[in-house]
Structure 1
Amino acid sequence: MSANVTIKSAEEAMTKAVEHAIHEFAAVRTGKASPALVENIDVLVQSYGSHMKLKQLAMISTPEARTIRIEPFDPSTLKDIERAINESKLGLNPAVEGKLVRLHIPELSTERRQQLVKTIKQMGEEARVRVRSARRDALETLKKQEKDGEITEDDLRRGEKEVQNITDKKIGEIDQHLASKEKELMTV
């Protein structure tokens, strides 16, 4: 394996860490409605006998700033969807209206907003740790390749520098997404 392949795989791992962080940030509830808030809820569908994501079972929309509308493709899954939302950690109460479910998103208190900011900062730190872990793995692989004679010492130094540049870029992306989510949470 060459240094370029090692660097490329490290960059892919770091990119996945950033994407995971963005996905996690999207699931944190702010004061406004967003389909991302509920689309990944696991729903045990009794009639199908399996678990499915809510986005696979229903059309999710936000007709108003504080309302999420969930319209199941199959009306027989309505009760399963309602149960899954009640069992989720979101603390939302679904209102069944005919063949659809409405979720009203309440205003967040200042204390709750600060608690959510702590949560996303923790998520951000976990993402940074994943990026640093990918960097560590890449550097170890590069050093092993140099020791085994697969790459030169110059390739090792260049590779280390490139991996560090990618790491700095990815951590910057995480920080940027974290800052925008924090601003979104603290906006009343």
Structure 2
Amino acid sequence: MIADVKKTADQKMHKTIEALKAEFSKVRTGRAHTGLLDHITVDYYGTPTPINRVANLTLLDARTIGVTPWEKNMLPKIEKAIRESDLGLNPATVGDTVRVPMPPLTEERRKELIKVVRHEAENARVAIRNVRRDAIAHLKDLLKEKKISEDEERRAQDDIQKLTDRHIAEIDKILQSKEADLMAV
């Protein structure tokens, strides 16, 4: 029973960290990477479809993403979708490829992005603490039902606290790495 509670808490905390990494991948640094466009959808014959399902995404150089649609008639739709996204990018069609240059980040924009990243990290920390709270509540319920002893409950709480500390330290490490990426010119 205690092992199940610990395992469930660990899995939920791990998922929280994976979600944080996914959120951080959307925050753009000065360098280009194809993952920036993953959340953009294009109208594909009346159906909103992720851009990577209608086109090939490649890096043309360190600051430019190339989007080559599999159907020529998708060029203007892809360009429009990228332009209207919340990324502030200005794509240009060159032949049968949409070139998406990454504008260099201003100092002010870098500071704004760091605030966003810190906020996301804090949300992840809160989520992990909520998992800890739920796990400890579950342990207390098991104690009330006399399925575990007080000593077992106390040891399990310590283990869950160690899990929490380890995952929060991992979040801090990921945050430091992302901040360093954002501040690199």
- Shorter-chain TM range is over 0.9
Matching residue's letter, 2:147: E
* Inter-CA distance 159–70: structure 2 relative to 1 (3 Å threshold): same
Name the SS of the counterpart of 1:112 in structure 2: helix
Residue aligned with 1:63, SS: strand
Stretches of structure 1 that go unaligned for 5 or more consecutive residues are: none
Give the TM-score taking structure 2 as reference length: 0.94
Partners of 1:58 and 1:73 within 8 A in 2: yes
Q: Which has the higher contact order (CA 8 A, sep 6+)?
A: 1
Partner of 1:41: 40
Matched residue SS, 2:48: strand
SS of 1:71's equivalent in the other structure is: strand
Q: Which residue of 2 aligns with 1:88?
A: 85
Q: Which residue of structure 1 lines up, in the alignment, with residue 14 of structure 2?
A: 15
Q: Give 1:28's aligned residue.
A: 27
What is the match of residue 51 of structure 1? 48
When the two structures are aligned, how many residues end up with a matched partner?
185
**Runs of 4+ residues deviating >4 angstroms:** none
Picking from 104, 108, 118, the partner of 2:105 is: 108
In structure 1, the residue corresponding to 2:103 is in which secondary structure? coil
Distance in structure 2 (CA, Å) of the matches to 1:93 and 1:11: 42
Structure 1 pair 162–98 and aligned structure 2 pair: CA distance change class (3 A)? same
The correspondence for 1:181, drawn from 175, 178, 183, is: 178
One-letter amino acid matched to 2:14: T
2:163 is aligned with 1:160: no
**Do the aligned residues in 2 keep the contact of 1:14 with 1:131 (CA within 8 Å)?**
yes
Task: Give the corresponding residue for 1:65.
Answer: 62
Distance 1:76 1:145, change over 3 A: farther
User: Partners in 2 of 1:43 and 1:22 — Cα distance?
Assistant: 24
TM-align CA RMSD: 1.3
C-alpha contact (below 8 Å) 1:40/1:55 kept by paired residues = no
Separation in 2 of the partners of 1:106 and 1:89? 14
Is the 8 Å Cα contact of residues 39 and 60 (structure 1) preserved in structure 2? Answer: no
Tell me which moved more, 4-13 or 68-77.
68-77
Long gaps (5+) in structure 2: none
Cα distance, 1:155 vs. partner? Answer: 2.0
Give the TM-score, by structure 1 length.
Answer: 0.93
Please state if 1:147 is matched with 2:140: no
1:72-110 deviation digits (Å, cap 9, x = unpaired): 233333233222212211000111122221100111111
- State the identity %: 41
- State the Cα distance separating 1:53 from its structure 2 match: 1.7
